[in-house]
Chains A and B, each alone.
Chain A
Amino acid sequence: MSTPSTTTPLVALDDASRSFGAVRALQNASLALRAGEVRALMGENGAGKSTLVKILTGVDRPNSGTVLVDGEPVVFHSTADSRDAGVAVILQEPTLFPDLSVAENVVMGRHPKRSFGRVDRPAMKKTVQGLLDRLGVDLDPDRPVQGLSIADQQIVEIAKAMSFDARVLIMDEPTAALSGREVERLFGVVRALQERGAAVLFISHRLEEVYEIASVVTVMRDGEVVHDGPLSELPEDELVRRMVGRDVTQLFPKSEPKIGEVVLDVKGLSREGVFYDVDLQVRAGEIVALAGLVGAGRSEVVQAIFGVDRATEGTVTMLGNDLPLGKPTAAVAAGMALVPEDRRQQGLVMDMSIGQNATLARLGDMRSRGLLSPKRERAEAERWGERLQLKYGRLGDAVGTLSGGNQQKVVLAKWLGTEPRLLIIDEPTRGIDVGTKSEVHRIIDELAGQGLAVLMVSSELPEVLGMADRVLVMFEGRVTAELSRAEADEERIVRAATGRVSAPATQEIA
């Protein structure tokens, strides 16, 4: 795109500050969203991105500074105000009505009416079909939202935003749960919107995506805007340095593995309709990655191994002992630990304190003379907090007050405290800022170095290639390739993950 920086921004933030008590979440931040421009908003978790987004969408108001719409200062009292000004948000997890059709979700609350207030279905369908066509996506307006992929649901959200004549689209980590192909389609839609003169604010932790889709970037750190300019003038490592305020020396600290005995042995694990005939082994000191597209059944496999999901067939053996299927308590007792993908729903009890979460998987050990000992709990939580360099205020604080990366460390602390022999970790760094990301990678690498067997599910290829000693690739519920560290490269993994199993040098399974 040409540089339209002379035009009046559609929506802008001018010198805005927002404090919560003594904490300054946003300090003198300015940001301009111009027609036809995709702006990336980068920063670690806690840098102030969400506060900025909340102000732009009318969820929150600044203590000082102004929001400008078409150059005129306005006050957004609510999300309805910002919507009326043409601002729409697409969240990572869409919030649609699963039982209603795509069309009904798009026009929700503004159904076209016939006489007696009846819904004019043909008109509704036509409008929505038109919107979807303009976005260039093939989605049936009549099908229910239930069962649509997250990617498709986001498209529905975008269509909904367009039906409100949104001119500014704020996308908060929209790609976090998408596969490569889905990301491409989403980007196609974003480009279509851009050409129609919309301004887009794109938030993502994935650098390559940011460089692909955005032309300008705002970098935030500690509540301040530390950089604002064209992306082409900012190389990747420089961008990362601006975000974290230091060099991220080594993104993937991989040490030479010392591989030992077989810790986990899974044979013929199947769950009707979800995954079939999964065989896998993880040895002590080894990091095995389960790669593939979102929806290939990877999380389902590891959850069945751990026992929180049922498997219909197959065996799971830990250190030579068969485990009963569907019994997480038995899996934990056998030395298994699962750090799930969904931290907020599965990994942590958000309303409980940091300390209580850190000890939740081994309450039995926290007893002294039969009763829970607060002293012992605190000591254990502190010990692990220190080891994992957890940044927290007090152990009694609710775990929800922590940033994503620190929450992940609490989940790790909870499981490492059980002294597991096998650590299953599903999307270890999803939604985690760059700085903490490499810390998590370092922790995993260290643990493997100490003889822990690690089974990692990851959708991020650099993570898979950087961390794993062996890569299993899944496609539509089956393992389609097993690659050694030497064999694994981007192309082979992508081929196997998209079902093109005839890739040379891949050792076929199944």
Chain B
Amino acid sequence: MSTIAPTAPAPDRTPSSPRSEDSRLKAILGRWETLILALIALVFLIGSGISSEFLTGESLTTGSSDFTEYAILALPLTLIIATGEIDLSVASVLALSSALMGYLWNQGLPMEGIIPICLVAGALCGLLNGWLVTGLGLPSLAVTIGTLALFRGLAFVILGDESVTSFPTGYTDWAFGNFAGTVVPNTIVLFLVLAAVFAVVLHRTPFGRAIFAIGANREAARFSGLRVNRIQLRLFILSGVIAALAGILLTLRNSTAAGNVGEGFELTAIAAVVLGGVSIFGGTGTIGGVLLALILLGGIQKALNLDPDISTYWVNIVFGILLIGSVLGPNLAARVREARRINSRGTRPPRPGRSAAPQSGPGGEGNSNA
């Protein structure tokens, strides 16, 4: 029998990992955003190689305003995905809003009345999604695939195949114009204001903290007294309202209302969110990361559109590759770290950081022009 007699009191058993999970996470996030920044620099370099027009004010204006709707849709989607849910119906709500706008304008309503009606319609769409998900407990992926078809169908019911183009120039000029003599489009200024609000809500309010808690562990969030269902319902309503707003902006920018606008927009918006570092499983992510991803995707789209020899379908291909890369990258990084940690031969079951999910699809349907 070998006995070592204990005398001294046990020392503090502080956490056993020298670098905590959290600081590692932060390091990954830091590196992730650095990577996106590097890609942005690369795209701008290549872009100015493709065409000397790329880095002109004119080009930035059109490039960024063409991306307005994706960017706006990405904001509430960031929050929804951070809770571990998804809303695939946003582009259809956008189209429904556009069609409704055209129909009501044909009916002779003033714009001051039409805009609130469209926003309320968006809220109702979101309410339906949210109720199906939180009230009936259905999976959001299935629900919003259904409403994606449903809302798009309603858009055609309302307006048919026609398109309405006779909107008042006061509104369309604003949507097409730049902010106070700068090269920044008005719509992008509106987006930036919204992004600032979303960033504060997500990162500096109890509501935002609850969003992350729900995404990281829904049950623990409920056991902490957080109103999980109510928060999720609100997010879906918010998503509907913002999608309707994006529909209004798109309609005004193009001076065209139609039921077929924005097809596939949801995929580009989701790509931006995931590429921006928001975990598709919920619990992590930042608005800042999503902003960078939007700049990257917008830059790619503009650069590829500038070269007449490159088919617009290449945009889809590049977006798709980036999206897969964004899901794959952290996963590979986690494996490399794991291998280093073990620092010996042999294998160990991988611990994926973020892995492929069914929602992640290829990029959007080319340009925003309907």
Chain A residues within 8 Å of B, Cβ to Cβ: 20-23, 25, 44-46, 59-61, 75-79, 221-222, 224, 226-230, 233, 241-242, 244-246, 308, 328-329, 331-333, 338, 340, 345-353, 356, 360-361, 363-364, 366-367, 370-372, 391-394, 396-398, 400-403, 414, 435
Contacts and interface: CB of A to CB of B under 8 A. Distances in A.
Interface string B1-40: 1111011111111111111111101000000000000000
B337 to A, nearest CB: 13
B210 A347 contact: no
A348 B225 contact: no
17 contacts: A20-B341, A78-B349, A79-B349, A228-B1, A229-B1, A230-B1, A244-B10, A329-B225, A331-B225, A338-B223, A346-B219, A346-B220, A350-B216, A360-B224, A366-B206, A401-B17, A401-B21
Contacts of A345: 217, 219-220
B302 to A, nearest CB: 36
Contacts of A20: 16-18, 341
A349 B221 contact: yes
Contacts of B11: 222
Contacts of B213: 349, 352, 356, 360
A333 to B, nearest CB: 8
A75 B346 CA distance: 9
A150 B213 CA distance: 29
A76 B224 CA distance: 42
A230 B341 CA distance: 37
A351 B284 contact: yes
A398 B22 CA distance: 5
B225 A228 contact: no
B20 A367 contact: no
B18 A78 contact: no
B166 interface: no
Contact of A391 (B6, B14, B219, B284): B14
B287 to A, nearest CB: 15
Nearest 3 pairs between A and B by C-beta? A21-B18, A363-B206, A77-B346
Nearest to A79: B349
A61 B18 CA distance: 18
Contacts of A396: 20, 22-23
Given A352-B216, A363-B206, A25 B284 contact: no
Contacts of A328: 222-223, 225
B344 interface: yes
A347 B223 contact: yes
B209 A363 contact: yes
Contacts of A246: 6, 9-10
B283 A372 contact: no
Contacts of A241: 6
Contacts of B206: 363-364, 366-367, 372
Contacts of A394: 20
Contact of B3 (A75, A229, A308, A402): A229
Tell me what chain B mostly uses at the interface: helix, strand, loop, or mixed. loop
Contacts of A61: 342, 344, 346
A349 B15 contact: no
Nearest to B24: A398
Contact of B212 (A352, A361, A392, A398): A352
Given A351-B216, A360-B209, A393 B15 contact: yes
A329 B231 CA distance: 13
A308 B224 CA distance: 10
A22 to B, nearest CB: 5
Contact of B346 (A78, A244, A346, A372): A78
Interface in B91-121: none
B359 interface: no
Contacts of B284: 351
Interface string B63-107: 000000000000000000000000000000000000000000000
Interface of B: 1-4, 6-23, 25, 200, 204-206, 208-210, 212-213, 216-217, 219-227, 283-284, 341-342, 344-349
A398 B223 contact: no
Contacts of A403: 13
A400 B284 CA distance: 16
B9 A245 contact: yes
Nearest to B227: A329
Nearest to B9: A246
Nearest to A364: B206
Nearest to B16: A23
Nearest to A54: B348
Tell me what chain A mostly uses at the interface: helix, strand, loop, or mixed. mixed
Contacts of A308: 222-223
Contact of A224 (B4, B23, B200): B4
Given A78-B346, A328-B222, A228 B2 contact: yes
Contacts of B3: 226-229
Given A349-B220, A391-B14, A393-B15, A77 B20 contact: no
A394 B346 CA distance: 33
Contact of A397 (B12, B20, B223): B20
Most buried by A among B15, B205, B208, B347: B15
Contacts of B19: 21
B219 A402 contact: no
A308 B6 CA distance: 45
Given A44-B13, A245-B9, A397 B22 contact: yes
A226 B206 CA distance: 47
A346 B21 contact: no
Given A352-B212, A353-B22, A396-B22, A371 B17 contact: no
Given A331-B225, A333-B225, A360-B226, 14 more contacts: A20-B17, A78-B347, A226-B3, A245-B10, A347-B220, A347-B223, A349-B221, A350-B217, A361-B225, A367-B206, A372-B209, A397-B15, A403-B13, A414-B224
A241 B7 CA distance: 9
Contacts of A392: 14-15
Contacts of A367: 205-206
A347 B223 CA distance: 7
Given A228-B2, A345-B220, A363-B209, A245 B8 contact: yes
B202 to A, nearest CB: 11
B217 A349 contact: yes
B222 A372 contact: no
B283 A351 contact: yes
B10 A221 contact: yes
Contacts of B210: 363
Contacts of B1: 228-230, 233
A364 B226 CA distance: 11
A229 B22 contact: no
Contacts of B7: 245
A356 B209 contact: yes
Nearest to B346: A77
B21 A400 contact: yes
A479 B13 CA distance: 41
Nearest to B347: A78
A229 B2 contact: yes
Given A227-B4, A371-B200, A361 B224 contact: yes
Contact of B18 (A23, A233, A352): A23
B277 to A, nearest CB: 15
A370 B207 CA distance: 11
A397 B209 CA distance: 17
A233 to B, nearest CB: 7
B4 A226 contact: yes
